[in-house]
């Protein structure tokens, strides 16, 4: 970690999905900037490793084993945070899973699992944290995706969950526009993380192998640095990577052409159903 910047001294930040990828990178980056960080995820061992890493760097962190698809777990996450820190300044709704299969072949339970984690997990955590965030005039962050703005074949459930997330957070921002709450929706492009290896296949089993070249992607650390800076500046929207911005612009202005370009690119993936 770089030298401590102190920009979030005294702030309390909750991050879901903090055991790997963007979530872990955000935890390290917020802690590096002086925040007390609450780490939430299902994999307790990985959370503890990140907690220890933060503490070894002189930071403050607490781990809470949390399955965001479980409403009681989300409630407990907020309760434990308030018990220890007495307030919440930032909630990063990052927990998420992906999938890779055509809808025609897909077991419906896969879509339910994605919606329960990616969408309802964010809804539950936001509901319980909202009173405390309003008190602090804090920031709620939703980690969406370029796939919350454009289609992505083979990821119907993933896209549906991210489109839902966008609608939810954009409306929540408007409902609280006079209360000083900041809502930041982040649309990462393809980011080097664990999400593709853990993506569910048509039967709901992790695919293990990533179908894309991870080395050519934006790193989770780069994404986290941008998110922390945007939180500091109370931004409302981020669309990341040049390819991501171009895809969104093309889809908005030339949807038919962009459909053909997207399917052409995705057909090149190993074992693509297209």
pLDDT for the residue numbered 260: 96
Mean of pLDDT values over 224-234: 97
pLDDT digits (tens, 9 = 90+) for 154-193: 999 999 999 999 999 999 999 999 999 999 999 998 876 5
Task: Say which residue the tokens 């997330």 belong to.
Answer: 165
pLDDT for the residue numbered 248: 97
pLDDT for the residue numbered 1: 39
Angle between helices 44-56 and 21-32 (to 10 degrees): 20
Q: Higher model confidence: residue 113 or residue 206?
A: 113
Q: pTM, whole model, 2 decimals?
A: 0.92
For the annotated catalytic residues, the residue numbers are: 158
pLDDT for the residue numbered 2: 41
What is 201-247 written as a DSSP string? -TTS-B--S-SS-GGGSEEHHHHHHHHHHHHHTT-SEEE-SHHHHHH
Q: How sure is the predictor about 207, in pLDDT bands with cuts at 50, 70 and 90?
A: confident
Instruction: Determine the 3-state secondary structure of 105 from DSSP.
Output: helix
Q: How sure is the predictor about 214, in pLDDT bands with cuts at 50, 70 and 90?
A: low
Residues 164, 237: Cα–Cα separation, whole Å: 16
Q: Higher model confidence: residue 9 or residue 202?
A: 9
Mean pLDDT of the chain: 92
Q: Are strands 237-239 and 182-187 parallel, antiparallel or unpaired?
A: parallel
pLDDT digits (tens, 9 = 90+) for 88-146: 999 999 999 999 999 999 999 999 999 999 999 999 999 999 999 999 999 999 999 99
pLDDT for the residue numbered 199: 85
pLDDT for the residue numbered 216: 65
pLDDT surpassing 70 at residue 77: yes
Q: How sure is the predictor about 194, in pLDDT bands with cuts at 50, 70 and 90?
A: low
pLDDT digits (tens, 9 = 90+) for 20-56: 999 999 999 999 999 999 999 999 999 999 999 999 9
Domains annotated on the chain, with CATH:
12-242 (3.40.50.720)
Q: Higher model confidence: residue 83 or residue 189?
A: 83
pLDDT surpassing 60 at residue 222: yes
Residue 9's Cβ-count burial label (10 Å; 0-12, 13-18, 19+) is exposed
pLDDT digits (tens, 9 = 90+) for 248-272: 999 999 999 999 999 999 888 888 8
> How far are the Cα atoms of 142, 155, 184, 211, 242 from residue 214, in angstroms, in the given order?
23, 18, 26, 9, 16
Lowest mean pLDDT among 63-72, 94-103, 199-208: 199-208
pLDDT for the residue numbered 193: 57
């Amino acid at each position: 970690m770089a030298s401590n910047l102190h920009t979030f001294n005294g702030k309390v930040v909750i991050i879901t999905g903090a055991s790997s990828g963007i979530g872990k990178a955000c935890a390290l980056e917020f802690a590096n900037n002086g925040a007390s960080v609450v780490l939430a995820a299902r994999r307790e061992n990985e959370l503890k490793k990140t907690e220890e890493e933060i503490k070894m760097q002189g930071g403050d962190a607490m781990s809470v084993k949390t399955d965001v698809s479980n409403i009681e777990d989300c409630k407990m996450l907020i309760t434990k945070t308030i018990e220890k820190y007495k307030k919440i300044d930032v909630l990063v709704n990052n927990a998420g899973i992906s999938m890779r299969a055509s809808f025609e072949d897909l077991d419906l339970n896969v879509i339910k699992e994605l919606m329960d984690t990616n969408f309802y997990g964010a809804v539950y955590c936001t509901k319980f944290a909202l009173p405390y965030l309003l008190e602090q005039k804090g920031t709620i962050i939703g980690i969406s995706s370029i796939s919350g703005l454009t289609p992505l074949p083979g990821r119907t459930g993933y896209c549906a969950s991210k489109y839902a997330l966008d609608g939810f957070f954009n409306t929540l921002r408007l409902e609280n526009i006079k209360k000083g709450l900041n809502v930041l929706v982040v649309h990462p492009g393809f980011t080097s993380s664990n999400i593709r290896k853990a993506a569910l296949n048509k039967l709901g089993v992790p695919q293990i192998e990533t179908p894309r070249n991870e080395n050519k992607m934006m790193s989770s650390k780069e994404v986290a640095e941008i998110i922390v800076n945007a939180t500091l500046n109370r931004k409302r929207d981020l669309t990341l990577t040049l390819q991501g911005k171009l895809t969104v612009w093309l889809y908005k202005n030339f949807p038919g052409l962009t459909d053909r370009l997207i399917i052409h690119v995705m057909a090149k993936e190993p074992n693509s159903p297209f």
